[in-house]
Amino acid sequence: MKNFIFLLCCSLSAIQLLAQADSILTIPLYQYAKDDRFDKYQITLALFITQQDTILSMDFEGSKPLKNILIKKPPRYKDYAYGNLFFTGSVNEYNPGYISVLVCNPYSKNPQLIIDKNQNFDFNDDPKYTLPYFDEPAVEIELANKNYPDGKIKIALTRNKLFGQKFEFKKQMDEYYSMAYKGRKFVGLEYTYREQRYITRSGFVKLNEESFKIALYDANSNGLYNDPELDKVIFVNSNDSVFDATNPLNFVVFSKKDKNNYFEKNGRLYQIMEADATGQFIKIKASNDDVEFGRIKEGKKVPKIKLTLARGEKFKLTKYKKKQVYLYFGSNTSKNFQSDTLILRQIAEIDTNRLKVICVLYVNKSYELRMFGSEAHPNYLLAFGGKELSKKLGINSVPQSLWLGKRRRVKKYGLKPNEFLRAFMAEEAKK
């Protein structure tokens, strides 16, 4: 009877797992979100004085032939300046990949901005925006893909104040724009605007006990969010506020083959079933498919690698070739990090002659690893995580783990510290 109940429970668990794997989850992506470049990059909307009723096309430092473009200006303003917003959703023969803007009275406290959204170079039939003065809130503008009007990005413009009283730097930048964009009169750096781009649309995933943030990233700024080999799906922890599109542990690039779009998060595999072109939603499901993700096959050796430890010294993994090694990959914000590192302590105390523990920590700044080491006083090796190491060992998300047998041969990926502890002790008991 007990055996029957046990088999019944196992069957129900298997059915539940299968049902979860087959269920497609639709995540609405209601809002724009910041990517890693939003606050880091200083992109300037350069402005040049119009020549009567003519502006010049964007040639980007002389890389393309210049074209004279005849425009229609609104009347009753003293001065006019023009610039270009990079947006590949724009389709016009005179200025491909850019949308022209006109700034009326550019030397005033709050100039008027007109964006040629219909791309006819008539600035009398477009909406106007009041540009901010120093320390005033940004003006936010949406740009729509010409062929897919629901596909949009958003741009925030604030008055350039980064350079402050640095006269020499300002002088150099003024000279740069005068030299790089010949035939145009630059308004001066203090009358330009900082451009910050919202090219990420985000939502929240809640699946049983799992939760994380997910987003679509428009890498080529065309207002479409599922271009193969360009756009990305980004997945970060629930408490993260920025979607890092540069860290391979946080994103996958859309494949040309729809069935090859998978990602890992918190040790679970997900398949991307559909990503809306305009970034309104994404559909995913938990998957039990056998996807290697660049992992090294069991029984094969991992490459000879050097780890950089917390104090900067180098450590060759071959030093432990006669021992088993448990490598744990994580970050301060990864799921169950505190409890996992507590169990790492227990594992490291088992048998230092036969088993070694290495915690590979992914941090933004090197001092964060040293701080963790100083506060936690770990009894295991503490090493820096990085892109090259991740690629060599087939690590695609954190938390993750890799169990190595003697001579650096792979035994198992993906065992949580408590799972590894049970597996290792069971193996030892058989000896």
Confidence class for position 219, pLDDT limits 50, 70, 90: very high
Whole-number Å distance between alpha carbons of 8 and 213: 36
Whole-number Å distance between alpha carbons of 307 and 22: 40
| SS3 state at 53 | coil
- Residue 412's domain comprises 306-429
Strand partners, 45: 193
DSSP for 163-225, please give it.
Answer: TTT-HHHHHHHHHHHHHHSTT--B--GGG-EEEEEE-EEEEEEEETTEEEEEEEE-TT-SS-S
Confidence class for position 92, pLDDT limits 50, 70, 90: confident
Strand partners, 362: none
Whole-number Å distance between alpha carbons of 116 and 128: 10
Where among 144, 161, 191 does a domain terminate? 191
Taking 60 as the threshold, does the pLDDT of residue 3 lie above it?
no
Q: Identify the pLDDT of residue 59.
A: 83
pLDDT > 70 fraction of the chain, expressed in percent and rounded: 93
Task: Give the global pTM.
Answer: 0.85
361 and 425 share a domain?
Answer: yes
Compute the mean pLDDT over every residue in the chain, rounded to the nearest whole number. Answer: 90
Where among 191, 219, 249 does a domain terminate? 191
Q: Identify the pLDDT of residue 66.
A: 86
Going from the C-alpha of 228 to that of each of 88, 108, 154, 219, 278, the distances in angstroms are 15, 44, 22, 11, 14
Q: Using one digit for the tens of pLDDT, what is the confidence trace for 262-284? A: 999 988 999 999 999 999 999 99
Residue predicted with more confidence, 165 or 73 = 73
Note whether 17 and 286 are within 8 A (CB).
no
Residue 13 lies in a domain: no
Residue 268 lies in a domain: yes
59 and 187 share a domain?
Answer: yes
Where among 222, 253, 286 does a domain terminate? 286
Structural domains of the chain, count = 3
Name 360's Cβ contacts closer than 8 Å, sequence gap at least 6. Answer: 307, 327, 328, 329, 330, 383, 384, 385, 389
| N- to C-terminal Cα separation, the chain | 33
Taking 90 as the threshold, does the pLDDT of residue 178 lie above it?
no
